[in-house]
Amino acid sequence: MRPSSFFEIAPGLTGFRTVMVNFFLVVPLHAPRQWVLVDAGLRGSAPRIVREAALRFGSDQPPRAILLTHGHFDHIGALPSLLNRWNVPVYAHPAELPFLNQQTRYPAPDPTVGGGLMSVSSPLYPRQPPRLPTPVHPLPSDGTVPGLPEWKWIPTPGHTPGHVSFWRESDRVLITGDALVSTRQESALAVWRQHIEVRPPPAYFTPDWRTAYDSMRRLRALDPAIAATGHGLPLRRDHWLQELDTLLADFDRRGLPRQGRYVTRTWPRPALA
C-alpha cells in the first residue's frame, strides 16, 4: 500500500504529497488562524492546496505569503492558479528571481546520471517556470521569514543557485526543499513506494554538486530533530542523522551519481591509476 499523502510533521507544520512532490502549510505558533504556504507543487495542484487550506482555516482565509524553496517546475506549478485566486506576495531567494521572473532558464536536466525512470524522463521536464501574474519578491536579507516570526531562511544552493531551506530553532524543525530529500527521487518505483532513505538532491536536476554537498553539511550542522523534505516522507525516526553523517562522510561513493555531465564539472574524481 502506498503511504498516505498527508502528514502532520510538528506543531504548526503539515505536509502534503501531490504525485511525487510535497507542499507545506505552516502556521505561526502565536497566531493559529494565520498560515503560510511553502512551495506549490505540480501544475494542477491548486484545487487540492485550496481545499486543504479551506478545511483548516476557512475558505476566506488566504495565506499571509507563499514561500518558495526554489523555482523548479514541480515546486511552483500551481502558482499561477493560486495567484489568480489569492492576492498574496510570493518570496524566494534573490538568486532565484531571474528564473522565476522568466529572465533565464534553469540548466538542462541530466538524464545520464542514471537511477531510474525519473532521470531518463528528465529532458521532458520544463526548465522555465510558468509566467506569473505578479512578480516574485526577494526574501528579507536578514534571514527573517515573512509571516513566520519563529522561522529563519537558510541559503542552501547547489540544486539551484537560489535554493533555500527554512529553520525553526525552538524545536529544531527543518524544511529542506530539495537540498536534502528522503527518497531515491531518480527512481519512479522508489517515489511510488516512498521508502525512506537519506538522499542528496535529485540528481537529474542538480548542476553544482560541490555546492550541494556544502549545503547538506550546513543543514547537518543545525542538528535538526525533524526534516520535512521536498520529496519523500519526513525524516524523524531514530538514527536519521547518523545516516546523514554516513552519506556525507563517503559522499563520493554514496551521494554522487557514478556519471553525469555536472558531476564531472563540479566534483572531479581522481583519475584511475
Q: Please report the domains of the chain, with CATH numbers, ordered by start residue.
A: 6-266 (3.60.15.10)
Grid coordinates belonging to 117: 525512470
- Tell me how many degrees the CA angle 159-106-218 measures, rounded to the nearest 5: 20
**What pLDDT is attached to residue 3?**
58
The helix-helix angle for 209-221 and 240-249 (nearest 10°) equals 140
Q: What distance in Å separates the CA atoms of residue 17 and residue 175, rounded to the nearest whole number?
A: 14
Confidence label for 189 from pLDDT (cuts 50, 70 and 90): confident
Confidence label for 270 from pLDDT (cuts 50, 70 and 90): low
Average pLDDT over all residues of the chain? 93
Grid coordinates belonging to 105: 532558464
Q: What distance in Å separates the CA atoms of residue 119 and residue 205, rounded to the nearest whole number?
A: 9
Grid coordinates belonging to 160: 539551484
Q: What distance in Å separates the CA atoms of residue 258 and residue 97, rounded to the nearest whole number?
A: 32
Nearest by Cα to 78 from 94, 66, 89: 66
Q: What distance in Å separates the CA atoms of residue 252 and residue 269, rounded to the nearest whole number?
A: 8
Reported pTM: 0.95
